[in-house]
Amino acid sequence: MKLEKYSFGIGDRFGQQGKAQLKAFQIAGGSGIEIVPVWNKSNREHQIIHSTPPETRQEADEAVQDLRWKAPYYVDADHINLDTVEPFLDHANFFTLDVADAIGSRISDDEVGGFLKLASPFKGGLMIPGMKASFEVTEELLVQIARKYLGAIREAAAIYVHIADHKGADNFIAEISMDEVEDAQTPLELLFILLMIRHFEIPAQTIAPKFTGRFNKGVDYEGDITRFRQEFERDLLVIDYAVQRFGLPDNLKLSVHSGSDKFTIYPIMGDLIKKYQKGIHVKTAGTTWLEEVIGLAMAGGEALQMAKDIYRDAYVRQEELCKPYSAVIDIDPSSLPGPDKVDQWDSEKYAGTLRHIPGHPDYHPGFRQLIHVGYKVAAELGEHYLALVRKHQGVIAEQVTTNIYQRHIERLFIS
Ligand SMILES: [Zn+2]
């Protein structure tokens, strides 16, 4: 199983929007851009919603069947490890091996020694084709990188072998992720992480490093975009070099766990992947859920009221809802409108506040992030919430498709 050049991860908290999501990929196909969809859902999300991996599989299969989608598609067991992978094994064909927690875990001197031997040809002034300056690779630096990452990649290998034993090595895509950490990995660290991946014989097809800057959920990128551009470009060159020198899969590509809506850096990424004719995997967070709330708000009446009630509850429970996401959201509580004020809003005001249109006078990133993590509130409303979503599926589907196509696919792959 070989992942295509362009793939795009789509989350769908409540599993209702598979067709509306897939439609965006059909529109892209019509514009000559072939992107394969990957329905991703993490264990954390399943637990909060009380959904299960077979449901995600069913959603994907049904959407594909109903829309007669002929290209490949995938179901991603997102951010799994040995403790959480089990329920996904029969239903996913893409596994994101999350080893962030194993970074810096203990390894023996023997293991470090083994890695140093492997890395010794790269010591000294290392020139990566396409880069203007060489890297200075010292023994000390290699030891430092080994102590930091070798345990994590050994862990990735253990997860990989476990999945391969169950499914057969040719029946799934493996991604290695270490994005949910504080410090970005440098391009040079990435190079030696890739060497470790080779060392442990993991045929990873995508790798998700932590990039410089903040990737908050559902809102734009925050950080130094010049630095991001330089880092992203170097990462692409490092991957090229690693594929050739280490014999990694030739379709190995970067996976950007975007947390969604990184509009500022989409054109940079789009530009660079075109420049080097590289593939990319972009993973979005569950902003489809936000489009459901926008659709409900637009529908008015009891649906708008439910959107307001969700906000009220989320507002009161800020601390609890934000806690699992503390590293990836930034809300200034004092900037949030009070629920009584929101209760006065009409459809347009509510939708305009939540919808991510940079520069729109009503758009409020704090409001958006709070609703983003507030899906637990809707999960608790259960059937009451889902019934209204189904009732207003027409207007919601339009939001979902437009969001993925116009705000994401167009910015990244077309314009
Ligand atoms: Zn991630």
Span 376-407, pLDDT tens digits: 999 999 999 999 999 999 999 999 999 999 99
Q: What is the pLDDT of residues 208-256, one digit of tens each?
A: 999 999 999 999 999 999 999 999 999 999 999 999 999 999 999 999 9
Domain assignment of residue 402, yes or no:
no
Residue 240: per-residue pLDDT? 96
Domain assignment of residue 52, yes or no:
yes
Give 282 Cα–ligand 1 centroid separation in angstroms.
10
Q: What is the pLDDT of residues 332-358, one digit of tens each?
A: 999 999 999 999 999 999 999 999 999
pLDDT band at 57 (very low <50, low <70, confident <90, very high): very high
pLDDT of 291 over the 90 cut: yes
Give 296 Cα–ligand 1 centroid separation in angstroms.
28
- Closest by CA position to 306, among listed 349, 342, 348: 342
What residues have a C-beta under 5 A from ligand 1, the ion? 179, 257
Domain assignment of residue 168, yes or no:
yes
Specify whether the CB–CB gap between 199 and 118 falls below 8 A: yes
Give 329 Cα–ligand 1 centroid separation in angstroms.
13
Cα 296 to Cα 292: distance, rounded to the nearest angstrom: 6
Longest alpha-carbon distance in the chain: 68
How many domains is the chain partitioned into structurally?
2
User: What Rg do the C-alpha atoms of the chain give, in angstroms?
Assistant: 22
Two tokens, residue 320: 């609890």
Cα 388 to Cα 396: distance, rounded to the nearest angstrom: 10
pLDDT of 286 over the 80 cut: no
Residue 164: per-residue pLDDT? 98
pLDDT of 285 over the 80 cut: no
Cα 73 to Cα 69: distance, rounded to the nearest angstrom: 9
Give 100 Cα–ligand 1 centroid separation in angstroms.
10
Give 114 Cα–ligand 1 centroid separation in angstroms.
30
Give 239 Cα–ligand 1 centroid separation in angstroms.
19
Give 409 Cα–ligand 1 centroid separation in angstroms.
19
pLDDT band at 324 (very low <50, low <70, confident <90, very high): confident
Does 23 lie in the same domain as 62?
yes
Residue 104 three-state SS: coil
- Closest by CA position to 53, among listed 63, 39, 66: 39
Calculate the average pLDDT of the chain: 96
Q: What is the pLDDT of residues 66-124, one digit of tens each?
A: 999 999 999 999 999 999 999 999 999 999 999 999 999 999 999 999 999 999 999 99
Residue 278 three-state SS: coil
> What is the Cβ-side half-sphere exposure of residue 376, based on CA atoms within 13 angstroms?
20
Give 180 Cα–ligand 1 centroid separation in angstroms.
6
What percent of the chain lies above the pLDDT cut of 90? 95
Give 37 Cα–ligand 1 centroid separation in angstroms.
17
Give 400 Cα–ligand 1 centroid separation in angstroms.
21
Residue 116: per-residue pLDDT? 96
8: left (phi over 0), alpha (psi -120 to 50) or beta: beta
Give 179 Cα–ligand 1 centroid separation in angstroms.
5
pLDDT of 363 over the 80 cut: yes
- Closest by CA position to 278, among listed 408, 377, 130: 130
Residue 237: per-residue pLDDT? 98
Pairing of strands 280-283, 6-10: parallel
**What is the average pLDDT across 168-173?**
98
Does 313 lie in the same domain as 272?
no
Specify whether the CB–CB gap between 6 and 269 falls below 8 A: no
**CATH code for position 186:** 3.20.20
pLDDT of 415 over the 80 cut: no
Does 336 lie in the same domain as 200?
no
Burial of 192 from C-beta contacts in 10 A (0-12 / 13-18 / 19+) = buried
Domain assignment of residue 183, yes or no:
yes
Give 181 Cα–ligand 1 centroid separation in angstroms.
10
Two tokens, residue 137: 């690779």
Give 143 Cα–ligand 1 centroid separation in angstroms.
27
Does 201 lie in the same domain as 120?
yes
Does 211 lie in the same domain as 310?
no
Q: How far is CA 337 from CA 26, 133, 299, 333, 366, in A?
A: 38, 50, 22, 9, 9
Does 313 lie in the same domain as 279?
no
Residue given tokens 């991001």 in the structure block: 228
Q: Helices (DSSP H) in 84-138: which residue ranges?
A: 109-119
Give 349 Cα–ligand 1 centroid separation in angstroms.
32
Give 257 Cα–ligand 1 centroid separation in angstroms.
5
Domain assignment of residue 196, yes or no:
yes
Does 101 lie in the same domain as 57?
yes
Give 320 Cα–ligand 1 centroid separation in angstroms.
21
pLDDT band at 292 (very low <50, low <70, confident <90, very high): very high
Cα 44 to Cα 285: distance, rounded to the nearest angstrom: 12
pLDDT of 59 over the 90 cut: yes
Does 179 lie in the same domain as 113?
yes
Residue 191 three-state SS: helix
Query: In which domain, by residue range, is 385 found?
Result: 289-397
Apex 289 CA angle, 16 and 210, nearest 5: 120
**What is the average pLDDT across 119-143?**
96
pLDDT band at 325 (very low <50, low <70, confident <90, very high): confident
Does 274 lie in the same domain as 264?
yes
- Percent helix, strand, coil in the chain (nearest 5)? 55, 10, 30
Domain assignment of residue 1, yes or no:
no
Domain assignment of residue 271, yes or no:
yes
Give 384 Cα–ligand 1 centroid separation in angstroms.
30
Residue type, 283: K
Does 311 lie in the same domain as 279?
no
Q: Helices (DSSP H) in 247-382: which residue ranges?
A: 266-275, 287-299, 301-316, 318-322, 339-343, 347-354, 365-373, 375-381
The number of beta carbons lying within 10 Å of the beta carbon of residue 282 is: 24
Give 177 Cα–ligand 1 centroid separation in angstroms.
7
pLDDT band at 56 (very low <50, low <70, confident <90, very high): very high
Apex 252 CA angle, 170 and 37, nearest 5: 70
pLDDT band at 181 (very low <50, low <70, confident <90, very high): confident
Does 255 lie in the same domain as 129?
yes
Does 178 lie in the same domain as 82?
yes
